[in-house]
Structure 1
């Protein structure tokens, strides 16, 4: 691999990294899309984005003295950015991962044959037409029916010390009644996400198109909320009051009611996905322990262990359990799409909710699958350009995404 090829690889890797971080400038995005216009390049990118692709080359690049290699590279190449010289050490955060990516990318780019796949195309109603990613958006409905449109400049709200504030702890949303227990409803629209810290300290982050019902304070040794849609829970452990120190410590259970199931926990982290337009309710346990009870008067139940997912289907009261990579189901809360051989239909469900578009299929649903981990801050066009590595063709008309 000669110097010109090496420099080209670093450039492309940088553009892809920025795209996945959502930090591409308009000019950089244009350059990346020009590179992706070549079918072989799109196929190449798909290979690199496949989960575990870098690990396949681990034995090869682990033998490299990465620091020495980058030192040599630094001496030979200085990157110019806005008239200032920027060393390669500031270009990426991780030396080892950079070498891994470049080594893998270079091997694929210059050793493999061009992919014979006939790639689809993306059409837009105009060159400037695009849909930006979702953001912090939510509506808080009070017990008397009044609504508060929450700040998009904040990530969530906090219930503490008789008031609701934003998570910065400085900006007040409203004061609470000293005596009454009020019922609140936090709703995120399509294209919105928001967090709430409940009065017991439990943290909940809502995904797009979701609703959480909860009280202004928990009473009678009960913690109970209702969810429609998807949310990530980090449940605080709360002890029941004891009359003396001899009594055993008991934790007040935290219960989440959602479509088709009841989840009971003591203190743990888990994700629930139970949208009304989807047949399954999936509970993914990251840490701790939870008990799932199905909707048949909550008779059927299972206890999940970390790394397991419980599934309840609309047409079945049985609860199935399977081992999963939890990151695939929780990456959204950290601002990522994580596709691992995801079918087109499931991927487009996420697209609909995050970009607030309607997906229409002109023919049968394509059977292709997609893989990759991409920042959710990227625009719809950016996401589709990166993922467009199949025979699928799509057209964006206003807020309707047509799949051919």
Structure 2
């Protein structure tokens, strides 16, 4: 079964194709572009190449590719510079294209390189992790990390297409798949209570082989596409808009920074961030319709953490929040919940409430 939807952004609209055994179509796409005189290259995640070497042999045999070390550390100025050099040495011109084959790290890095090289070239997302399939490959947010914080340097640069081949998940470690489910749960919490409840009552957890995984990914992509179409550059402020997609992420980014990039998978940090966001919602807005036990149960189904693995210093976490992208005019905005499926942006959280939320997950 294949699914397809479109992110409608006028002249920058693009398709998201979801299914199994799509590698052949990707190979045909590469050959078609080469036959028309366009040069192409790819960035490939190191772990993915090691797990599925036949993909590189069969699909990428006619274009150069650069292997990117796995992990958050590759979203760096150093790796970005290597990517620029690779594009230049490959003689990519403005008609050329770049394929991002990997998880969110490779996608963000490749997207920012494509946005900035020759002031913008075409790129295509080929996500190889569940998290990238449901979230980071869609929407055009690209960038790298600084020592001061996550995703502080980047650009909005929409891909020309997203190809979601579920067969690329067959070698994904269980921990990585679970991390992707953290983002799926986020979508249910912020805008689709039916999705959240369906995950709760499901008899067996989703896996790469689930027959209805295609529909799940399509549902998440459709939610994101709708939000991106209405607020592409996240300018809606307290009205919500695209910022709602950051539910749990303000806390998550602080955890990743303080613990050290790579200590947590992004989806694991998001899981803890969702717990913090729910508890902060209860402190700020009452959150009478929120059932904490349901969230904790669902995170437990996918072996996602609900508290810090080791205590992190409260002062460091609070300081990390202050450098978050969602600080506006010196005020930090959080995405909070009125109930599951209804999120909103707020700058009403005070220091004591934020500290209480942090302490509830093991900060000291």
The two structures have a TM-score, normalised by structure 1, of 0.27
Q: Which has the higher helix share?
A: 2
More strand by share: 1
Normalising by the residue count of structure 2, what TM-score does the alignment of the two structures yield? 0.29
